[in-house]
Structure 1
């Protein structure tokens, strides 16, 4: 987990578009993003379920100001032909970015829960440290979404049918599913108000990752 800002995106993809979408992500889109000034890394996850192709992408940013900065907006207002083909096909699209308000743990877990929350914890760093103390939890990150920076109208935004929004992100990274279930049980005990106004606690598995150094050939 790097930088002071984040951008989180969820979307669903139809089965007949899956190959094109995965190639777009790994062969063009994430590289384009992490070579944009202020982007540090991209991690792509896939929901661990058989009934739908759901993806979660986490971009790590130097600062939340990157979201409405000149470099990123230039990308959003000049989508590639491949992006123009993919964007209208993304269903249940939810996007939000802002400032990372708490971070605890070391490294990254391959199995995660990425919760969209409407109530941010009163003491986010304390909550992150309590969750990361759970067995098998590698890292916890809490972010507050900046609605103004996330909502800037762009060419790319106009290509999507709809776009959901959320107040904050609670990301728990574990070594396995059991570890995440234990952390969620702890969360229900210590912060029921946060969990009561959160998205479904779906499990995601790591699929692809790239950072700026790799993309630049360093």
Structure 2
């Protein structure tokens, strides 16, 4: 899962079963194409929790950090479509992080991704980052792993958007580790071993962290918009 560009929007939320079918139709057929049509948006991916629960992980890969405050993106956020306005209140327990990409190793898009949300302990940001980057570089070369990445939330200074107001505001992550594989079991092993909470805490992370594994549900890149327009025409 080599990340495209230098920034990303990483998001987690829950969708209850009653809204799940419509959500996935809206998200795949309207929302992703709308976002990928914006300058600086390179690829979007949606992942569902492997345990069959209500959780989703969604990420937009961006050409640059400045894309987060671009006129086109802000205009889209402040003018949601009627279908978007209908679906936004169903995004429960929303965590939305606007990130800079610190490091990225590997290539390709695996069928599963491990996401870890964590924060460095006081005075440990430098050592933790060095430890993580060394570990992720090795993980990207490990059997079954196709991508290993580290992102850091750096929220731009901007007013709350209309979409955020509809949702009631969003929580944010701090540091984000992403590990992608073509085998879910490989990620479960990594979570139990080198990326276990105990190892991360010993390396300088705070004890409070969140780990989940998700399966790929849908992905759309900017290059896919051409084929969509041809098909609709």
What is the TM-score of this pair, normalised by structure 1?
0.91
Question: Which protein has the larger Cα radius of gyration, Structure 1 or Structure 2?
Answer: 2
Alignment of 1:179-198 (within 5 A): 179-184=186-191, 185-188=193-196, 191-192=200-201, 193-194=204-205, 196-198=207-209
Number of positions where the alignment pairs a residue of Structure 1 with one of Structure 2: 215
Query: Which secondary structure state, in structure 2, belongs to the residue aligned with residue 129 of structure 1?
Result: helix
Asked if the contact 2:41/2:60 (under 8 Å) is kept, the reply is yes
Pairwise CA distance, 1:141:
1.1
Match of 1:154 in 2: 161
Name which of 213, 222, 226 aligns with 1:203: 213
CA distance change for structure 1 residues 190 and 53 in 2, over 3 Å: closer, same or farther?
A: closer
Query: Counterpart in 1 of 2:90?
Result: 89
Tell me the SS of whatever aligns to 1:26: helix
Q: Which runs of 5+ in 1 are unaligned?
A: none
- Partners of 1:155 and 1:134 in 2: how far apart? 43
Kindly provide the CA deviation profile for residues 36-74 of structure 1, in whole angstroms up to 9, marking residues without a partner as x. 111000011000123x32111111000111111111001
In the TM superposition, structure 1's runs of 4+ consecutive aligned residues that sit over 4 Å from their partners are: none
What value does the CA root-mean-square deviation take over the aligned residues?
1.9
Contact 2:48 2:217 in 1 (8 A): yes
Give 1:20 shift: 1.0
State the SS of the aligned residue for 1:10. Answer: strand
Q: Distance in 1 between the 2:209 and 2:224 partners?
A: 34
**Whole-Å Cα distance in 2 between the matches of residues 174 and 167 of structure 1?**
23
User: 1:215 — aligned with what?
Assistant: 225
Aligned with 2:42: secondary structure?
strand
- The unaligned stretches of length 5 or more in structure 2 are none
From the superposition, tell whether residues 176 and 195 of structure 1 become closer, same or farther in structure 2 (CA, over 3 Å): farther
Give the TM-score taking structure 2 as reference length.
Answer: 0.86
On the 8 A contact 1:131/1:187 being kept in 2, the answer is no
CA–CA distance in structure 2, aligned partners of residues 190 and 103 of structure 1: 21
Secondary structure of residue in 2 paired with 1:153: coil
**Structure 1 residue 114: Cα displacement:** 1.2
